[in-house]
Structure 1
Amino acid sequence: MFRTFESLKLSVLGAAACLVLASCAQQPSAPASTTPAPPPAKASSGGAAAAPAAAPAAAPAADAVDPEVLKALDRMSAYLRTLTSFQVDTYSLTDDALDNGQLAQLGRTARLKVRRPDGLQVELNNDRGDRNVLYYNGKTASIYSPRTKYYATVPAPATLKEVVGVLTEKYDIDVPAADLFSWDSGKMDPAAIKSASYLGVAAVDGHLTDQFAVRQADVDWQIWIERGSTPLPRKLVIVTTSDPARPQHTVVLRWNTSATFAPSVFDFKAPAGSHRIAIQRTDGTVENPGK
Structure 2
Amino acid sequence: MFRTFESLKLSVLGAAACILLASCAQQPAAPGASAKPAAAPPPAGASAAAPAAATAAPAADAVDPEVLKALDRMSAYLRTLKTFQLDTYSLTDDALDNGQLAQLGRTARLKVRRPDGLQVDMNNDRGDRNVLYYNGKTASIYSPRTKYYATVQAPPTLKEVVGVLNDKYDIDVPAADMFSWDSGKMDTSSIKSATYLGVSAVDGNLTDQFAIRQDDVDWQIWIQRGNTPLPRKLVIVTTSDPARPQHTVVMRWKTVASFPASDFDFKAPAGSTRIAIQKSDGTVENPGK
TM-score with structure 2 length normalisation? 0.86
Secondary structure, aligned partner of 1:220: strand
Where in structure 2 are the equivalents of 1:171-190 lying within 5 Å?
Answer: 171-186=169-184, 188-190=186-188
Q: Which residue does the alignment assign to 2:43?
A: 39
The separation in 2 between residues aligned to 1:269 and 1:238, in whole angstroms, is 36
1:71-97 deviation line (CA, Å, top 9, x unaligned): 001100100010000000000000111
Where in structure 2 are the equivalents of 1:75-154 lying within 5 Å?
Answer: 75-154=73-152
1:21 correspondence with 2:8 = yes
The separation in 2 between residues aligned to 1:256 and 1:249, in whole angstroms, is 23
Q: Which residue does the alignment assign to 2:260?
A: 262
Does the 8 Å CA contact 1:32/1:182 hold for their aligned counterparts?
Answer: no
Q: CA deviation at 1:191?
A: 1.0
Q: Which residue does the alignment assign to 1:67?
A: 65
Does the 8 Å CA contact 1:149/1:274 hold for their aligned counterparts?
Answer: yes
> Structure 1 residues 242 and 19 mapped into 2: Cα distance closer, same or farther (>3 Å)?
closer
> Structure 1 residues 17 and 62 mapped into 2: Cα distance closer, same or farther (>3 Å)?
closer
Secondary structure, aligned partner of 2:60: coil
RMSD over equivalenced CA pairs, Å: 2.2
Does the 8 Å CA contact 1:123/1:132 hold for their aligned counterparts?
Answer: yes
Q: CA deviation at 1:40?
A: 2.6
1:201 correspondence with 2:202 = no
The separation in 1 between residues aligned to 2:12 and 2:127, in whole angstroms, is 17
Which moves more between the two structures, 95-104 or 212-221?
95-104
Does the 8 Å CA contact 1:194/1:217 hold for their aligned counterparts?
Answer: yes
Question: Match of 2:122, as an amino acid?
Answer: L
> Structure 1 residues 56 and 63 mapped into 2: Cα distance closer, same or farther (>3 Å)?
closer
Q: Which residue does the alignment assign to 2:282?
A: 284
Note the residue ranges of structure 2 that are not aligned, 5 or more in a row. 23-41
The separation in 1 between residues aligned to 2:160 and 2:262, in whole angstroms, is 21
The separation in 2 between residues aligned to 1:100 and 1:183, in whole angstroms, is 39
The separation in 2 between residues aligned to 1:252 and 1:104, in whole angstroms, is 19
TM-score with structure 1 length normalisation? 0.85
Q: CA deviation at 1:33?
A: 2.7
Secondary structure, aligned partner of 1:147: coil
Q: CA deviation at 1:245?
A: 1.0
> Structure 1 residues 183 and 57 mapped into 2: Cα distance closer, same or farther (>3 Å)?
farther
Secondary structure, aligned partner of 1:86: strand
Does the 8 Å CA contact 1:279/1:286 hold for their aligned counterparts?
Answer: yes
Match of 1:237 among 232, 235, 238: 235
Q: Which residue does the alignment assign to 1:7?
A: none
Does the 8 Å CA contact 2:122/2:130 hold for their aligned counterparts?
Answer: yes
